[in-house]
Amino acid sequence: MTEQQPYQVVKSYDNFELRRYPAHLVAEVITEGPFEDAGNRAFRYLFAYISGANRSLQKVTMTAPVVQTDAAEKIPMTAPVLQEGVKDAAAGEQFRVAFVLPKDLTIETAPQPTDPTVHLRTVPASLAGALRFSGRWSQTRYEQHLDQLRGAVAAAGFSVLGSPRFARFDPPFKPWFLRRNEVLLDVEEPG
């Protein structure tokens, strides 16, 4: 069974879970093109990294989810499948796709990528609203669930921080109706 990114459920609401995520390490790639293709475009670089295409030739255990986020968010590099996206007229759509690395790895102990496309980054601990759904990995479905989560988080009195994340837990060969997907929004700590 694939290791899953750890989190603690702080509270369950009718339409979402409020979760606390510890700081964690991701290997990530920034890719251009349509939302639906971002994960596939980044996968080969990230999979090569965890398969031993790194300076120590070390294999790294696959962990879920793969996360996709907006590549426009300015994130300091230190030294996730997560998906974030942005539309840039000059560059087209850009997405940051990340493999969440096993919890025992740190920026100091993880094998260093040999491909300059792959970067390691420590993601700080966060409080996040999470909405789980099944089905296809389409931009339309992502946006529908993101709108639902934004409304539910606001109705619960939380303020959103940063860009939303799209988390995919299953491989592409799993039947679409069995796939676990999530939309996540970091929120401010309650006062």
The one-digit pLDDT tens for each residue of the chain (191 residues) are 678 999 999 999 999 999 999 999 999 999 998 888 888 899 999 999 999 999 999 999 988 999 999 876 544 333 335 555 544 434 468 899 999 999 999 999 999 999 999 999 999 999 999 999 998 878 899 999 999 999 999 999 999 999 999 999 988 788 888 989 999 999 999 87
The pLDDT value recorded for residue 86 is: 43
Place of tokens 């493999």: 99
The pLDDT value recorded for residue 187 is: 97
Angstrom distance (rounded) from CA 73 to CA 61:
27
Coil, helix or strand at residue 141? helix
The pLDDT value recorded for residue 76 is: 38
- DSSP assignment, residue 153? H
Q: Which helix (H) or strand (E) holds 119?
A: strand 119-123
Give the class (CATH, top level) of 27-123.
alpha beta
The pLDDT value recorded for residue 90 is: 42
13: which 2 tokens? 């609401």
The pLDDT value recorded for residue 171 is: 82
Sign (positive or negative) of CA dihedral 160, 165, 75, 57: positive
List b or e across 141-163, with b for residues whose CB sees 16 or more CB atoms inside 10 angstroms: bbeebbeebbebbeeeebebebb
Angstrom distance (rounded) from CA 28 to CA 119:
5
List b or e across 91-128, with b for residues whose CB sees 16 or more CB atoms inside 10 angstroms: eebbbbbbbbbbeebeeeebbebeeeebbbbbbeebbb
- For the chain, state the CA radius of gyration: 16
The pLDDT value recorded for residue 92 is: 62
The pLDDT value recorded for residue 72 is: 66
**What ranges do the domains of the chain cover?**
27-123
pTM for the model stands at 0.85
Q: Which helix (H) or strand (E) holds 29?
A: strand 24-32
Sign (positive or negative) of CA dihedral 64, 123, 166, 146: positive
